């Protein structure tokens, strides 16, 4: 059996103790399957990877150790199952299934349905960072069935926030977008996503002094603190306002948005 190097979770715990790079069997492709074997060029890290490794989600995802690590990847197709539409040499990016993680490895085996051809305009590193945050942002915005006058997406240069902020107008038809970022990110955000209507520097200005209470149709919570953002939502139920909590409640409170 061929082997490969991979980042492996050996137990739940602090990342420096629970994760180790080791030799592990290289996955093999059943060529009659709908799977694809990818030689990984880049793998991106999400907060979820750390939460899983620390055991914070062990009620949802119970690990059998040693376990693979990571969801997001990009790379080159080594071998492809019959009728998958992929061919050896294709440059791809995608997401490992939640039940079979392991993008942080030399090779990854995943269903063809979790892969797409990498755009020529993006590097392997850039495209590896698109999958999980992109799907998260798409799912969050698709959840909203109400009015689309204003979307407030704090953390507009974060992984999920940057995706949602770009999709809100162009893919989902919101008329106006608002974000809040820390001071160093204000200029970068205005350069990278220039059509955002209001950019609040939350380190200097309380967003509540700029965004009227009850004026927003959609809020994407970036911190697992949905109660801190609820005041911005419209109270008119006929407009079906939506708050999407990004995470399990973390008990953290954004300093700029204290509880009343
Ligand atoms: N990554 C995923 O695909 C994914 C999937 C599901 C759920 N989630 C959850 O979604 C949340 C964000 O994940 P992420 O991967 O996007 O993390 P991230 O890249 O670290 O982004 C979080 C952003 O929040 C911003 N932020 C911090 N305090 C803030 C405040 N008081 N007001 C406004 N913005 C603030 C930070 O911006 P500044 O540096 O400017 O402060 C940072 O850019 C996490 O709770 C995560 O667990 C993520």
Q: The CATH number of the domain where 46 resides is what?
A: 3.90.180.10
Is 229 touching ligand 1 by the criterion CB < 6 Å?
no
110 lines ligand 1 (CB under 6 A): no
Tell me which of 95, 159, 244, 251 to substitute to probe ligand 1's pocket, judged by most ligand atoms within 8 Å of the beta carbon: 159
Same domain for 72 and 25: yes
Pair (49, 106) in one structural domain: yes
List, as one string, the DSSP characters of 144-208.
--S--SEEE-SSTTSHHHHHHHHHHHHTT--SEEEEEE-GGGHHHHHHHSTT-SEEEETTTS-GG
Output the pLDDT for position 111: 98
Helix (H, G, I), strand (E, B) or coil at 60: coil
Q: Is residue 255 part of a domain?
A: no
* Same domain flag for 115 and 148: no
Of ligand 1's listed atoms, the one at least distance from the Cα of 156 is: 43
Whole-number pLDDT of residue 188: 98
Q: Please check whether residue 260 lies inside any domain of the structure.
A: no
Same domain, 154 and 71: no
* 251 falls within a domain: no
pLDDT at residue 57, as a whole number: 87
Q: Domain range for residue 232?
A: 133-245
> In degrees rounded to 5, what are phi and psi of residue 216?
-120, 140
Residues 239 and 166 in one domain: yes
Instruction: Tell me how far apart the alpha carbons of residues 206 and 186 are, in angstroms, rounded to a whole number.
Output: 15
Q: How far apart are CA 171 and CA 141, in angstroms?
A: 9
Closest CA to 49 of 111, 6, 98: 98
Q: Report the nearest-CA residue for atom 2 of ligand 1.
A: 133
Structure tokens at 223: 């911190």
- Tell me, yes or no, whether 257 lies in a domain: no
10-residue block means of pLDDT along the chain (260 residues)?
96 95 97 97 95 88 91 98 97 96 98 98 98 96 97 96 97 98 98 98 97 97 89 95 78 41
Please say whether the beta carbons of 86 and 52 come within 8 A. no
220 with 244: CB under 8 angstroms?
yes
The Cα–Cα gap between 221 and 224 comes to 6
Strands 198-201 and 176-181, sheet pairing: parallel
Residue 92 Cα to ligand 1 midpoint, Å, equals 26
Our CA angle for 15, 19, 24, nearest 5°, is: 165
β-bridge mates for residue 162, sequence order: none
Which residue has 């071998």 as its token pair? 79
Consecutive H or E run containing 188: helix 186-192
Asked if residue 148 and residue 95 are part of one domain, the reply reads no
**CA contacts within 13 A on the Cβ side of 72:** 23
Question: What per-residue confidence (pLDDT) applies to 254?
Answer: 43
CA 195 to chain centre: 22
- Structural domain ending residue among the three candidates 93, 114, 129: 129
In this structure, the number of other CB atoms found within 10 A of the CB of residue 15 comes to: 12
């Amino acid at each position: 059996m061929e082997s490969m190097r991979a980042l492996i979770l050996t137990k739940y715990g602090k990342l420096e103790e629970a994760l180790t790079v080791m030799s592990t069997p290289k996955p093999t492709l059943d060529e009659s399957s709908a799977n694809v074997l990818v030689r990984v060029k880049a793998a991106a890290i999400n907060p979820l990877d750390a939460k899983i490794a620390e055991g914070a989600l062990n009620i949802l995802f119970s690990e059998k150790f040693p376990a693979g690590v990571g969801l997001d990847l990009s790379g080159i197709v080594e071998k492809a199952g019959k009728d998958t539409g992929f061919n050896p040499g294709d440059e791809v990016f995608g997401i490992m299934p939640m039940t079979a993680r392991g993008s942080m490895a030399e090779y990854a085996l995943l269903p063809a349905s979790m892969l797409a051809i990498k755009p020529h305009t993006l590097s392997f590193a850039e495209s590896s960072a698109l999958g999980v945050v992109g799907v998260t942002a798409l799912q969050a915005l698709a959840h909203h069935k109400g009015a689309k006058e204003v979307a407030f997406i704090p953390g507009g240069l974060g992984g999920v926030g940057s995706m949602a902020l770009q999709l809100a107008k162009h893919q989902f038809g919101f008329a106006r977008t608002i974000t809040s970022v820390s001071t160093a990110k204000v200029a970068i955000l205005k350069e990278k996503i220039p059509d955002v209507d209001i950019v609040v520097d939350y380190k200097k200005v309380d967003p509540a002094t700029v965004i009227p209470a009850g004026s927003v149709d959609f809020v994407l919570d970036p911190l697992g603190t949905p109660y801190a953002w609820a005041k911005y939502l419209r109270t008119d139920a006929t407009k079906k306002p939506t708050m999407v909590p990004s995470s399990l409640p973390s008990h953290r409170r954004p300093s700029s948005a204290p509880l009343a």
